[in-house]
Amino acid sequence: MSVSPASRKPDKERKKPMPTCQNCGFKWSWKDTMKLNFKGKWPCANCGREQYVSGKSSFWGSLLFSMPFVFLMNYLRLSHGVGWLPIILLFIVYLPVASLLMPFVFKLSNAKNRFGKPIE
């Protein structure tokens, strides 16, 4: 009995933060991950099976996306009396930055699952 080298992924592959398909192990591109983010589900580019964002990672994704901004907004408004215009401008700048980071916290799942109940 010998383990085929092809069946084991090299360590450096595993450390890449992009989400992988739970059906075939294919590493998703950032673009596909963003589509999944907006649609809630998206077929794997490799095997075609629809993947969902796992509930847990969706939670962390939303947190990553909204928390820093909410804190900053409250801080600026309460401590510095900043008006809405600079805050809206800040949000416009923050949006793409947060979007870039989103795929790194996502995990895929074969089935739609309820919040806080990841299938693993």
Which positions lie near Zn ion, rule CB under 5 A?
Answer: 21, 23-24, 26, 44, 46-47
Smallest distance from Zn ion to CB 49, Å: 5
Residue 102's contacts (CB-CB under 8 Å, 6 or more residues apart) are 33, 34, 37, 61, 64, 65
Smallest distance from Zn ion to CB 117, Å: 22
Which of 46, 99 has the CB closer to Zn ion? 46
Smallest distance from Zn ion to CB 26, Å: 4
Burial of 37 (0-12, 13-18, 19+ CB in 10 A): middle
Which of 44, 102 has the CB closer to Zn ion? 44
Which of 21, 36 has the CB closer to Zn ion? 21
Tokens standing for residue 3: 């383990």
